[in-house]
Amino acid sequence: MKQPVRVTVTGAAGQIGYALLFRIASGAMLGNDQPVILQLLDITPAMDALEGVKMELEDCAFPLLADIVCTDDPGTGFKDTDYALLVGARPRGPGMERKDLLEANAAIFSVQGKAINERASRNIKVLVVGNPANTNALITQRNAPDINPRNFTAMTRLDHNRAKTQIALKTGRTVNDITRMTIWGNHSATQYPDLFNTRVDGQPAIGLVDQAWYEETFIPTVQQRGAAIIKARGASSAASAANAAIDHMRSWALGTDGDDWVSMGVHSDGSYGIEEGLIYSFPCRCSDGDWSIVQDVEIGDFSRGKMSATERELAEERDGVKHLLP
C-alpha cells in the first residue's frame, strides 16, 4: 500500500463538499491504491455541520481513508498538504456589486495563499472551484510566492463536461465519441467552448452542425448552464461541480488519455497570445503529474474574437483586485 497523501478541501461543510468528500475518500480522485488524509477547512459557524460530515465519512469505513482533520484554522488545514481543492468562497449577497464580491473573495484567498506558502508541501497541486474561480486562483498564487505558479489552477472542467454532453446529444453520439473539447478563458459567461477543434468520432464537430446552432444555441447553453440549473433546482450545481473537480485532479495527477486533452484554467505562458500570468483556460494534456498547454490548435477569426473577449474580462477582474495583490 502507498503512503497516504494529504488532501485539503475548503468549504467542506457546503453542498459541493458533501458531493465531493465521499468520492475522494473512495479513491475516485487519486486511484484505488492511494490512501488519503482529509484536511477539512471551513469557517467557525460551520464546525458543527462539518463534524456531522466527518461522522458520516467514518461511517462509510472507506479502506483508503487514513485520517480526517476538521478545522477552522487555515494553518492547520493546509499543513503539509499535497492537494488542495479550494471550494469555500463568499457568495454574492443582495445588493453586492461585482467589485464587492471580488474584494470579499480576495480577502479569503489571500489568507489561504499565505497559509499554503507557509505550511503546504512544495509540490502542492491547487484547484480553485470557488467563484470567481480564475481570479481567486490568481490571488491564491500571488500570495504563495515560494510555490511554482504552475501549481495553481482554476476549474473549467464542469464547462468542458457540459459542452461534451451537449454536442453528443446534438449528434446522436455518446460522450465516449467526443474528444478534443476546449473551453477557452474565464469560468464565466464569456467562456468560449470551441467546436472547431472538437472531434465527434474522429470527425471535426463543426462540420456536423450548422454555424447558427453553434452560435445561437450551443455556446449560450454551455455559458448559461449554471444559471439554468439554479433556476430549475433552486440551488447551484453541486454534484456535477464535485464530479468535475474529481475529473480535473484525476487528470492532473494520473494523466490524460492518449492524444485527447482536457480544459484547465492555468497560468498563461503567453501561448496563443494570451497575456502572460493570467489564469486562463486552455486545452491541456497531463502526464507524470504535470500539465502542458496543447500547442498548434487551429484558431480562426471567430475563435480569436471570443478568446480575446474572455481574456479582456480576466484582465479586468485582475485589475479590480490589483491593490490587493502582493
Ligand X SMILES: NC(=O)c1ccc[n+]([C@@H]2O[C@H](COP(=O)([O-])OP(=O)(O)OC[C@H]3O[C@@H](n4cnc5c(N)ncnc54)[C@H](O)[C@@H]3O)[C@@H](O)[C@H]2O)c1
Q: Which three cell numbers stand for residue 310?
A: 474572455
21, 30, 40, 46: which one contacts ligand X (CB under 6 A)? Answer: 46
Is residue 42 part of the contact set for ligand X (CB under 6 A)?
Answer: yes
Q: How far apart are CA 44 and CA 73, in angstroms?
A: 9
Rounded distance between C-alpha atoms, residue 221 and residue 82, angstroms? 35
Question: 155 or 206, CB closer to ligand X?
Answer: 155
Residue whose cell numbers read 505550511: 119
| Residues paired with 284 in a beta bridge | 262, 293
Q: CB neighbours (10 Å) of residue 310? A: 24
Among 41, 57, 262, 321, indicate the residue that binds ligand X (CB under 6 A): 41
CA atoms within 13 A on the CB side of 41: 25
115 binds ligand X (CB under 6 A): no
12 annotated binding-site participant: yes
- Minimum distance, C-beta of residue 125 to ligand X, in the bound complex (Å): 16
112 in a labelled binding site: yes
Residue of 160, 187, 248, 267 marked active site:
187
CB of 277 to ligand X, least distance (A): 20
| Gyration radius (Cα) of the chain, Å | 19
Which residue in 11, 113, 185, 283 binds ligand X (CB under 6 A)?
11
Contacts to ligand X from residues 57-96, by CB under 6 A? 87-91
Q: Would the annotation count 92 as a binding residue?
A: yes
Residue 17 counted as an annotated binding residue: yes
Question: Helix, strand or coil for residue 6?
Answer: strand
Rounded Cα distance, 266 and 261, in Å: 14
φ, ψ of residue 4 in degrees (nearest 5): -65, 150
**131 in a labelled binding site:** yes
User: Which position's Cβ is nearest ligand X?
Assistant: 14
Give the x-and-dash track for 174-203 against ligand X (CB under 6 A).
-------------x----------------
- If the CB atoms of residues 51 and 216 are measured against ligand X, the closer one turns out to be 51
Instruction: Report d(CA 225, CA 220) in Å as an integer.
Output: 8
Do 141 and 149 meet the contact criterion of CB atoms below 8 Å apart? yes
CB of 291 to ligand X, least distance (A): 17
3-state secondary structure of 283: strand
d(CA 134, CA 282): 12
Residue 187 falls in the annotated catalytic set:
yes
263 near ligand X, judged by CB under 6 A: no
What residue type is 37 in one-letter code? I
Stretch that binds ligand X, among 22-30, 96-104, 123-131, 251-259 (CB under 6 A): 123-131
Burial (CB < 10 A; 0-12, 13-18, 19+), residue 104, is middle
**225 lies in the binding site for ligand X (CB under 6 A):** no
**What is the identity of the amino acid at 241?**
A
As given in the structure block, the three cell numbers for residue 217 are 444555441
Kindly write out the interface string for residues 130-169 of this chain, putting x where it contacts ligand X by CB under 6 A and - elsewhere: xx-x---------------------x--x-----------
Least distance in Å: CB of 143 to ligand X? 14
69 assigned ligand-binding residue? no
Q: Is 5 annotated as a binding residue?
A: no
Helix (H) or strand (E) holding 76: helix 74-77
- Binding interface with ligand X (CB under 6 A): 10-11, 13-17, 41-43, 46, 87-91, 108, 129-131, 133, 155, 158, 187, 236-238, 241
Residues of each annotated binding site for NAD(+)? 11-17, 105, 112, 129-131
Catalytic residues: 187
Residues of each annotated binding site for substrate? 92, 98, 131, 162
